[in-house]
Structure 1
């Protein structure tokens, strides 16, 4: 699947504060679609978030929809389909929002998405990962197959060297180059490094940070980093490496050495770089908590210690979904999400119907403005890149797992408020919208709720895990959704009627729902 005939899709470029309007036309023959604008807070515009079954009905074949929203943040992101696992088929594209920078640079190289690529369709992979008889990874059910390749801005050489081409970036000696990195993968996590060069990090997930220098950068699914690199080496070609972890739980690929090329002006581009560089330091899917936001935000420690903190427990289960049919599902507090394409959450809200299906996994947040604290407990050996819509969050702390969970699984490390609470960081910790829930461990986050009415999903960004149900919906200020979106009802009903009309046709012409629908 392609956008405007290409992969990745066209760059959406705007300035901070602009209104962005994009018309999405569905030219697929039998698939619905939607488009999500990853990382945008969508302040008072929840209906533009693009999540099928939550903020809208899918766009049926032959139909169009206009997304319109303000660029209230600046930096780097991407857009992608948000219906089932469809984005893994290729419905992704880069976003660049120009704004102030915390560090000087001479040249903006633009957005550079890195993504895994599968020869099989996402739908077939979902069918297999949900089949309890089809384990892919060391006997763990629900594990995906390895990706066939890793692409850099849509380019890559086949692992057997028989075709394709390396993506290439141009450096000018002694100039400072801004590079906007995006992990647009389905499953693979990377450690990014450039042979002989350091990178100065200036933004993480739309959040400007105090500049800091690194030799390598951990980049999980859905994350973005803006970095500045000084071209201070000899005129030559250099590898940009996207190293895979030694543990397959961070993603597996048939490409053992994913790489692109940095070419200095004047270098002989007919020659490949000769130095592959030092191997990346093993991180076992452990995310970086170095970024310190330029704009300080502090969570009130007293609110965390003086109230009952909410916990979300993530488990991997084999459950009977129909008589005699079992599926491998990811559950949150025992429930795997399953949304209704034909009746999204927002339609319930504007109708005044607050009796939601259990499998909608809706969590109603307090109506008044208040900090929301969450402990996410992972009872499985799989790490999860957790992404929140509508907000970024403060990372107060997480457990550490310094060994391979497949080799030394131990027991789940449970969050203990008495032991772990004093070590949490409340004063301007790392803030972003995507971070890793460690294997057999815990993650504590906080975000300020009450100012952005809507239904915001919080989910693992691995599409196979989304398909298997790893998500909840935070329903925020349900009393104000209709007020901030006064024209929502007629538009939502018209678009949903289009989908319902399509879905009522001959079954052979409509999209088969095989998963959670997200």
Structure 2
């Protein structure tokens, strides 16, 4: 009898914990992994006890092995007219399983994730990239068309498979910029420990600029020198028509649509997983009467920081805790536009609602005040929980690689480009970089594929990135977290007299570099007229991309790829897995493709 009571009491406790804890997938509820979990509302830092994995575990060195596989099937479809969550009709929509955003990929730390992509787009090849996931020793699964694989041809399919070696919040999107701007994207949630306690996981909040026109057509106009959007400024994009929160908002031009709402339970702490899935717009977020406790930047757990507003660039993610400690009611969650050319929308005050349970079903009455402290640049006060430091004596201007970006106009073809080191990158869809590696002819790659080779394993690599333009750029590195050692300060105005870049000065800036446990993330902001100095360790063989995540800019060639541990790539992954998909693509392109490549291809 006593034994039965103990078992019953244990079941009751487990059930109570499940009401507020991140819900494990069903097949683990009665399995070994679930019995070993210690991740509760009062101890989020712990994940499992035997074996021990917690917030202090270096996920680049070890991770759980659950033996569980999460399988997803994504069918990509194309609609010439589609009514979105703001009640407005979009000219061209490309959707994942018929919805926007696409379904959330959910797994536990250490699970295997299988995603089968079925391409039912009418004329487009496609690929899916899992933004932020390290893909350790699985570069072939990174989903960058023309680099790690051939595009998936219309009517064909492909399956990606990899282990969730990290945890936190990420997202997936087509690595063809027009497609993700038209709707091919969705959240990724990998359950794991957290650096602060919370009661309820509200899940992902994807914030997206939204354009009613086809992104492909808008990109073509942005690339033209006779750009109709901002007279005298080539390559400038239009205002977004709206900003959507998990695919919803009101119609700023008239009736239609509805506000996205999240429900808060009074007295509880709520985890919100913020993702900027935009094509162009960056936002400064704030919530009337509430602060944000930041516990992760991208997929890097940090020492908690409490802020009243939060800048989020394109591609960036923040895990934040919102404490429901105010009066029961409805509160605006506002997205404001920062000073400088970080994007602008026809919806000047995009917002959603956080509604306390028990509050009346009405809109909030207090509008809030737009923050004025952000200048389209990341804060640099984030301290990763797992400390990683770059060698203090390794960097000098002669030992690093300098990447210079500058707006360029080719009047011979009336096109605008964003080249890096003078080369606007354009990949070859029929011969992706991993195909060159497989065939042993990397040396014959065209110069316009903009390749840097880092052959040695486990050495520190330093990149000095300089921006000779008035536009801040959200830059993203595949396959790695980058250590942000330093950067020039944000400018008070978008431009400075003479439009002169503030270059890195080693004598002045070198002593101020932060090499001891600096901020670490996969997407960061390159300041206008300024510089960033980043570092990473060459511990992940593959062909990796570094690029601006503004869709127009990557289309215009703002990208670099680097071959890491070239000789180890064929022995780390099975490059023969490329063959079937590339054969399908070769049968389609170019002979059967009605539209030929005219941009970077990624």
Shared fold, TM over 0.5: yes
Cα distance in 2 for partners of 1:64, 1:10 equals 18
- Tell whether the 8 Å contact from 1:84 to 1:515 is kept in structure 2 after alignment: no
Q: How far does the alpha carbon of each residue in 1:337-383 deviate from its partner, in whole angstroms, 9 at most, with x for none?
A: 00011110000001001121101100001423211111101001111
Provide the aligned C-alpha RMSD in A.
Answer: 1.3
Match of residue 181 from structure 2: 88
Match of residue 499 from structure 1: 585
Determine helix, strand or coil for the equivalent of 1:418.
Answer: helix
**Structure 2 gaps, min length 5:** 1-93
Cα distance in 1 for partners of 2:267, 2:585 equals 55
Q: CA deviation at 1:306?
A: 8.7
Residue 264, structure 1, aligned to residue 356, structure 2: yes
Q: Which of 517, 531, 537 is matched with 1:442 structurally?
A: 531
Residue 295, structure 1, aligned to residue 379, structure 2: no
Q: How far does the alpha carbon of each residue in 1:281-320 deviate from its partner, in whole angstroms, 9 at most, with x for none?
A: 2422121112110000000011114952221000100025
Higher relative contact order (CA 8 A, sep 6+): 1
- Equivalent positions of 1:22-421 (< 5 A) are 22-134=115-227, 136-137=229-230, 139-247=232-340, 249-269=341-361, 271-305=362-396, 307-319=398-410, 324-355=412-443, 356-406=445-495, 410-421=499-510
- Per the alignment, do residues 12 and 507 of structure 1 end up closer, same or farther by CA in structure 2, a change over 3 Å counting? closer
- Tell whether the 8 Å contact from 2:295 to 2:304 is kept in structure 1 after alignment: yes
Cα distance in 2 for partners of 1:182, 1:137 equals 28
Match of residue 64 from structure 2: none
- Per the alignment, do residues 437 and 159 of structure 1 end up closer, same or farther by CA in structure 2, a change over 3 Å counting? same
Residue 512, structure 1, aligned to residue 600, structure 2: no
- Tell whether the 8 Å contact from 2:470 to 2:499 is kept in structure 1 after alignment: no
Match of residue 488 from structure 1: 575
Cα distance in 2 for partners of 1:361, 1:84 equals 19
Q: CA deviation at 1:279?
A: 1.7
- Tell whether the 8 Å contact from 1:453 to 1:477 is kept in structure 2 after alignment: yes
- The TM-score with structure 2 as length reference comes to 0.83
Cα distance in 2 for partners of 1:299, 1:263 equals 44
Cα distance in 1 for partners of 2:495, 2:375 equals 11
Determine helix, strand or coil for the equivalent of 1:85.
Answer: helix
- Tell whether the 8 Å contact from 1:135 to 1:142 is kept in structure 2 after alignment: no
Q: CA deviation at 1:78?
A: 0.5
Q: CA deviation at 1:411?
A: 1.5
Cα distance in 2 for partners of 1:136, 1:306 equals 39
Cα distance in 2 for partners of 1:133, 1:445 equals 36
- Equivalent positions of 1:439-478 (< 5 A) are 439-449=528-538, 451-478=539-566
Which one has a bigger Cα radius of gyration? 2
Cα distance in 2 for partners of 1:113, 1:365 equals 35
- Tell whether the 8 Å contact from 1:283 to 1:402 is kept in structure 2 after alignment: no
Q: Bigger shift: 133-142 or 437-446?
A: 133-142
- Per the alignment, do residues 307 and 506 of structure 1 end up closer, same or farther by CA in structure 2, a change over 3 Å counting? closer
Q: How far does the alpha carbon of each residue in 1:44-67 deviate from its partner, in whole angstroms, 9 at most, with x for none?
A: 000100000000000011101001
Q: CA deviation at 1:503?
A: 1.1
Q: Bigger shift: 220-229 or 365-374?
A: 365-374
Q: CA deviation at 1:29?
A: 1.4
Q: How far does the alpha carbon of each residue in 1:430-486 deviate from its partner, in whole angstroms, 9 at most, with x for none?
A: 00000000111111101111x21101100000111000000000110000000011x
**Structure 1 gaps, min length 5:** none
- The TM-score with structure 1 as length reference comes to 0.96
